[in-house]
Structure 1
């Protein structure tokens, strides 16, 4: 039996118990002293905001667990260049060389010519695969061969310090777990022409919280720094439910939780008390907008979310967003929104009877 109950301070929050529901959303700007304020720079990439500076990436993640690494599960990692080359699989090295050749030729041709050329190549590949009655492969490249001699460096000492940082050690692929893998490793020192730098990826809600809530981020789009109103308009065009999601994000961030995406567990957000690197998330947040009548929210979906939470040792919180009745101006009117928590618990009648007996 699954029941709903309003959130209690002891169950789903660690803030002052005198702070009753519903809690209003307001903007708090820290630090109060403008001379101590640090302004980070993020770049809008179409789906989110990315931070490219290594020092800014470290500060944002260490001072609030904001964002995630583009190549990492959570904390961004950076290759330490201490005169030791990076070790790379042969398959990965060949794929990067394919990218280098493809995108270098892209700059030499116009966009229209390149578009029609790729269409012709793709059509020819589909016809060829259909005639051979094999599996159609649109992902692999023609560069996946065993020849990497063009990139092998016989004399590493002839390169200067900056060029040594571009060197990588290419080893064989580890497709099979054979005992003689390390005996036949045959490493080769090659020149890596495609460097992939890790970035800190911020969601739209995280970026707007840093911009509007804390005032420590500036968002750049099309070589132009956007203000709060322009960012709100851009983020709303990207995600039509941005305002509702941001209200819930701001709500739980104000309570001291680390809020992350919950798509892995079928929810909207995950709530951490200390961050992803310290302990697992305790709550899965499901957002419900009361004003939207056509929103699909029934007991079937509730039971599915609850089942997922039980198998992962978590609890489900349904965050109901109450919008003001009258038209308000955003973002000044965000303080008129309110959030109500519903904590889901699953009680099995057989277990309850055994406890009473």
Structure 2
């Protein structure tokens, strides 16, 4: 349980928002990982999905629509390659054909809010200009100085402003049944697939046993050991396929290992882990998922070498392995504080090569040689912390 107060944003109070939240509780009511007593229920096996490794993008592609939906609704795994998060490209195409659907996707809701926010600023600027022009007219005609008010009944506010209804003109000619769009029109072909990061894919297949990965060249199913080595090799070989492809030497500071350790750490604690590139961090931590509330914590992965000599001899070049300046830390912390998120620096200690042999990297058992430490960074804001 978090000791830090949640974001403080007020929850939705309108009937429409409450209905949407009830729908989310029903749709996303059984997220993974499931916690149950032995023996496990057989329905967990029904979540088994098939993915294909894509070395160029360092991800696993899930093409099946049913598998993609299950993986998203049962733990918010992956993202649509043509969508912001949830695979909703097909729904957006259908909505655009029907000139608006009954349930808008997240991208459509964001576009609608941005358009309304832009229109609100235009209406408010016009109202302020009208009040200023009225004050000028009073001064020219009566000589009185009237201070234009920036608030009041004539000035719309964010709490009272509502978008104007769109006026539709009746058609000049009556619409015949032949002119109407056929209801049985075939839906467009779904061109979208679910894209899983390598840490997400390995967590699903190793810890939850609800994903299988196929070789992209032979379509043969890979074993866990083969997948483990292939995921490490994806970060050690060029992303562009070359022939013949060199056989890489596995490294203790492989980026896949470092990222997976952090992902596994927070997933095992019950957090929903999502990418955080939008806020200049590595991961975002959600209590239930992005459809319920905003992320409370931002995570920056900081690798630490047990032996400094290993860092000097490294051929990988890990991100954030070198000490970062305070200006960078202050910038990241301020960005996340402005959106009510707490910054966490997660330090992953990389074992020394003099103590651990590289042969242990052939199996996930090597994870026992790594350790994780967390440091919470909070920005002092006098306006919020006076009490």
Q: TM-score, normalised by structure 1?
A: 0.57
**CA distance change for structure 1 residues 247 and 59 in 2, over 3 Å: closer, same or farther?**
same
Tell me how far 1:311 sits from its aligned partner.
1.3
Q: What secondary structure, in the 3-state scheme, does the structure 2 residue paired with 1:264 have?
A: helix
Q: What's 2:370 paired with?
A: 337
Task: Report 1:226-265 matches (<5 A).
Answer: 226-239=222-235, 240-265=254-279
RMSD: 3.9
Paired residue for 2:335, among 305, 308, 316?
Answer: 308
Determine which structure has the larger strand proportion and give its number.
Answer: 1
Q: What's 2:127 paired with?
A: none
Conserved in 2, the CA contact under 8 Å of 1:74 and 1:276? no
Task: Report 1:78-93 matches (<5 A).
Answer: 79=90, 87-88=96-97
Q: What's 1:320 paired with?
A: 347
Q: What's 2:201 paired with?
A: 207
Q: What secondary structure, in the 3-state scheme, does the structure 2 residue paired with 1:319 have?
A: strand
Paired residue for 2:379, among 337, 346, 353?
Answer: 346
Q: How many residues align?
A: 243
**CA distance change for structure 1 residues 234 and 343 in 2, over 3 Å: closer, same or farther?**
same
Tell me how far 1:349 sits from its aligned partner.
6.9
Q: What's 1:107 paired with?
A: none
Higher relative contact order (CA 8 A, sep 6+): 1
| 1:104-134 deviation line (CA, Å, top 9, x unaligned) | xxxxxxxxxxxxxxxxxxxxxxxxxxxxxxx
Q: What's 1:216 paired with?
A: 210
Q: What's 2:189 paired with?
A: 195
Show structure 2 runs of 5+ residues with no match.
Answer: 7-33, 99-165, 173-178, 236-253, 306-310, 313-320
Q: What's 1:49 paired with?
A: 60
Tell me how far 1:76 sits from its aligned partner.
2.3
Q: What secondary structure, in the 3-state scheme, does the structure 2 residue paired with 1:271 have?
A: strand
Show structure 1 runs of 5+ residues with no match.
Answer: 1-7, 14-27, 90-177
Conserved in 2, the CA contact under 8 Å of 1:29 and 1:214? no
- Tell me, yes or no, if structure 1 residue 286 matches structure 2 residue 300: yes
Q: What secondary structure, in the 3-state scheme, does the structure 1 residue paired with 2:51 have?
A: strand
Q: What's 2:3 paired with?
A: 10
**CA distance change for structure 1 residues 201 and 224 in 2, over 3 Å: closer, same or farther?**
same
Q: TM-score, normalised by structure 2?
A: 0.53
